[in-house]
Structure 1
């Protein structure tokens, strides 16, 4: 325990402003992480640390700072990371409360940076969208429409719109021509929430496909 060093809010802020490589890791479970966390924190729960960390943090010399909210998880996580071969590991001084007390802002929900980007794109580019009732009416009326699900395949398998086709976001521009060869086909892009449907729809608009395209407003 005494071998674990600490870093404070100012250390992290300075490194972020200098664009240095770092990892700020919340080792609580997903629900408390979603309630409040620093903007660029990643969630790797202590319960899944050994399973996920090599994929999430492949560089063993990355400056890693772990934190909790007083549960006693951070020191355990730091010790495990050191045992796993990571060489630059520290605990956030004061944990989440220390971050807040030092003036650090906290955010609610998960994937906050990407969601903020999605909202910015929609606001600036006026990305077209259709409400769930409108999409349901098109499907019920057997309209010339195709629904493309932009989530990962495992998410698609968990729940999906009947008739929807799994097309993870990075594949949308690649596959849309074969899935909607008729330029009159209405293309609907959906995801679980709204961000990936906005980004997916805007990518198709930017690619200049001839089809009308819209996001499913507010997702599945």
Structure 2
């Protein structure tokens, strides 16, 4: 029997059905809190989707910080592929990522797996709350260690751009900043070295992609809201960033779900950009 491949979002009802059918399914809890970096893993140990493994944002998906490479640096691609091999990922595996914070960390894993060239990855729409609301079971049992796989990264589905390349192309790209409006405008900066944004950027707060219940807005609505931000260049000339390259992935996921494919992530984001006083910044 062939199974549907989920590439952007999967509903709780769809996942409940898929669990009954799919031979190669990997569920990953990505829950995380910046203010308490152990909270996500504690929460996973207390309750998670049955069989779900846990990936820690800092430990499992990011490189060490140097002070100049941002707060959540992109790791070596092969290093991350090895992390996924340890979870048993295969080319045919359908991955479902979720978190309990409105999906930014799940969207980050979605982007990371596409960066390895793995297409069958989706975010559980609405996360743990939607799963519970649909009557999905929860478990406190740690899943057995999976058998390591021979997964190999292939051509990336997630383009990136460096700070240097981005600076050289300022004015020729559309830039979308996923941070809250007050941080974008430079009114406050609780985390990084300078306040403001990259010159020429527009602001779309990552939470603007979600409805009140924490699920993503319908694809047509997302498209109608996002398309005006892309003019005149279109999706493929659009670069997304945020504070550290994580929450921008929700904007990328929303665009992909809305049929606006092909835009790029600046992984270093504001935390890397603002660490170099020679780079231009804008406020307001």
TM-score of Structure 1 vs Structure 2, range by shorter chain:
0.3 to 0.5
The structure with more radius of gyration: 1
Relative to the length of structure 1, the TM-score reads 0.45
Relative to the length of structure 2, the TM-score reads 0.35
Higher helix fraction (1 or 2): 1
Q: Which has the higher contact order (CA 8 A, sep 6+)?
A: 2
